[in-house]
Amino acid sequence: MASSQHPDSPVFRRFFQPARDALAGSKARFLCHRISDETYLAAGVLRCVSDSRTGRDFLQRHGDGGGADISVDLFFKAIQSKRRLNNLASINAGLATLMADSADDPFATIPELKGFAIYAGDGHYHAAAVHDPKCLDRSGTMRKEAAGHFFLLDLRTHFLSHLAGAEQGGCRKREHDMHALKRLGTDALRGGQPKGKKVILAWDKAGIDFAFWHKVKQSSGLYFISREKENMKLIRCGERSFDRDDHRNAGVLSDENVGPGGGSGAMLRRITYVDPIEATTYVYLTTEMSLPPGLLVLIYKQRWDVEKVFDELKNKLVEKKAWGSSATAKSTQAQFLCLAHNLMVLLEETLLKAEGIDNRKEWKRKAVRKEKAEKEGTNFVATALQRFTVRTLKFIRWLRNFVYRTTSWEAALARLRHVYATF
User: For position 3, what pLDDT does the model report?
Assistant: 44
Which of 51, 50, 69, 49 has the alpha carbon at shortest distance from 59?
Answer: 69
Strand pairing category for 235-239 and 222-227: unpaired
- C-alpha to C-alpha distance for 308 and 389, rounded to whole angstroms: 7
The interaxial angle of helices 82-102 and 10-24, nearest 10 deg, is 110
What is the reported pLDDT for 258?
95
What secondary structure letter does DSSP report for 290?
S
Q: Helix crossing, 360-375 with 409-422: angle to 10°?
A: 40
pLDDT of residue 4: 47
Between the alpha carbon of residue 252 and those of residues 50, 123, 376, 418, the distances in Å are: 44, 29, 18, 44
Count of helix runs (H) and strand runs (E) in the chain: 15, 11
Q: How confident is the model at residue 377, as a pLDDT?
A: 62
Confidence at residue 410, expressed as pLDDT on a 0 to 100 scale: 97
> Cβ distance 358 to 351 under 8 Å?
yes
| 367-389 pLDDT, tens digit each | 666 666 666 667 888 888 877 78
Other Cβ atoms within 10 Å of 335 Cβ, number: 24
Q: Do residues 56 and 115 touch, judged by C-beta distance below 8 A? A: no
8-state DSSP, 113: G
List the alpha helices (DSSP H) in 120-202. Answer: 177-184, 186-189
DSSP lists the bridge partners of residue 236 as: 258
* Length of the chain as a residue count: 423
In three-state form (DSSP H/G/I as H, E/B as E, the rest C), the secondary structure along 88-102 is HHHHHHHHHHHHHHH
Q: Residue 259 is which amino acid? A: G
Q: Give the closest residue to 384 by CA, choosing from 112, 97, 96.
A: 112
Taking only the tens of pLDDT, the chain with its 423 residues reads 344 477 889 999 999 999 999 999 998 988 887 899 999 999 999 999 999 989 999 999 999 999 999 999 999 999 999 999 999 999 999 999 999 999 999 999 999 999 999 999 999 999 999 989 998 888 888 989 999 999 999 999 999 999 999 997 777 678 999 999 999 989 999 999 999 999 999 999 988 888 899 999 999 999 999 999 988 889 999 999 999 999 999 999 999 999 987 666 688 999 999 988 888 999 999 999 999 999 999 999 999 999 999 999 999 999 999 999 999 999 999 999 999 999 999 999 999 999 999 887 776 776 666 666 666 667 888 888 877 788 999 999 999 999 999 999 999 999 999 999 988
